[in-house]
């Protein structure tokens, strides 16, 4: 009888023991994810033509980085929200396509919904990579750059609305495109976004300077080299 009681208690405690080993991680409230997704979509739209506030390019990824750095789960509903707001952004930005012919409405909808998948993939991939301990200033720019390369070639590819295009009216920023393409410009801009995030943590949450310094140093170096190369190229004589 005593052995049966002991066995019963062991079986009853199994779920508790499993819960202790694998504690359930709290999910980010859906309204917070909606606010972040809406903010990111708005910043991206404002940074691109027709409004074209190019300075916003240096902060457009900051809302996504906030989600990437959260220790709470995003969940399927959260990723669905990211996809939905990103779809709205792409559909608004590419709505000129539907004016070409009434039959273009369906391809326009399909394209907007397809491109939004890359934003979901960006957040998800960065969260996975950050869980391995890779620094944020490496994860964000390389993941963003890699996804831009993929979408430029996958399924014949489409390179519209890439991050580097935000700086089309800033000649010094885009000269490195002759070496690395628009992807290179996007990577530099992503690095700056990371530094803006870490500086915000330094100011708002008193994050230790040692955790802020690496991303800021990398951003300053990247910007300095980019602008320096841009000025060098712009200063060269034009060949008629």
Of residues 164, 167, 168, 158, the one with CA closest to residue 183: 164
Residue of 193 and 103 predicted with greater confidence: 193
Residue of 165 and 17 predicted with greater confidence: 165
User: What pLDDT does 34 receive?
Assistant: 95
Number of alpha carbons in the 13 Å side-chain half-sphere of residue 130: 18
For 31-72, how does the pLDDT look when each residue is reduced to its tens digit (9 = 90+)?
Answer: 999 999 999 999 999 999 889 999 999 999 999 999 999 999
CA distances from 124 to 64, 82, 100, 213 (A): 10, 11, 35, 25
pLDDT at 22 over 80: no
Confidence of residue 15 (pLDDT cuts 50, 70, 90): very low
Identify whether the C-beta of residue 187 lies closer than 8 Å to the C-beta of residue 142.
Answer: yes
User: What pLDDT does 151 receive?
Assistant: 94
User: What pLDDT does 155 receive?
Assistant: 84
What does pTM read for this prediction? 0.86
Residue of 1 and 22 predicted with greater confidence: 1
Looking at the chain, the whole-number percentage of residues with pLDDT higher than 90 is 71
Confidence of residue 24 (pLDDT cuts 50, 70, 90): low
For 189-231, how does the pLDDT look when each residue is reduced to its tens digit (9 = 90+)?
Answer: 999 999 999 999 888 877 778 888 899 999 999 999 999 999 9
């Amino acid at each position: 009888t005593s052995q049966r009681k002991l066995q019963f208690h062991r079986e009853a405690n199994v779920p508790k023991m499993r819960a202790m080993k694998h504690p359930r991680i709290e999910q980010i409230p859906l309204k917070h994810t909606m606010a972040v997704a809406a903010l990111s979509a708005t910043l991206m739209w404002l940074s691109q033509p027709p409004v074209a506030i190019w300075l916003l390019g240096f902060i457009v990824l900051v809302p996504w980085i906030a989600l990437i750095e959260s220790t709470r789960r995003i969940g399927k509903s959260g990723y669905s929200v990211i996809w939905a707001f990103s779809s709205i952004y792409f559909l608004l930005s590419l709505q000129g396509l539907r004016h070409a012919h009434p039959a273009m409405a369906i391809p326009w909808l399909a394209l907007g919904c397809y491109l939004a998948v890359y934003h979901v993939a960006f957040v998800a991939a960065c969260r996975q990579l950050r869980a391995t301990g890779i620094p944020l200033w490496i994860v964000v720019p390389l993941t963003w750059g890699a996804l831009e390369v993929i979408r430029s070639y996958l399924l014949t590819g489409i390179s519209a609305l890439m991050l580097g295009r935000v700086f089309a009216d800033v000649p010094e920023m885009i000269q490195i495109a002759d070496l690395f393409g628009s992807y290179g410009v996007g990577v530099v801009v992503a690095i700056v976004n990371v530094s803006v995030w870490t500086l915000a943590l330094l100011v708002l949450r008193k994050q230790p300077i040692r955790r802020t310094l690496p991303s800021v140093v990398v951003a300053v170096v990247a910007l300095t080299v980019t602008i320096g190369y841009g000025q060098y190229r712009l200063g060269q004589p034009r060949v008629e």
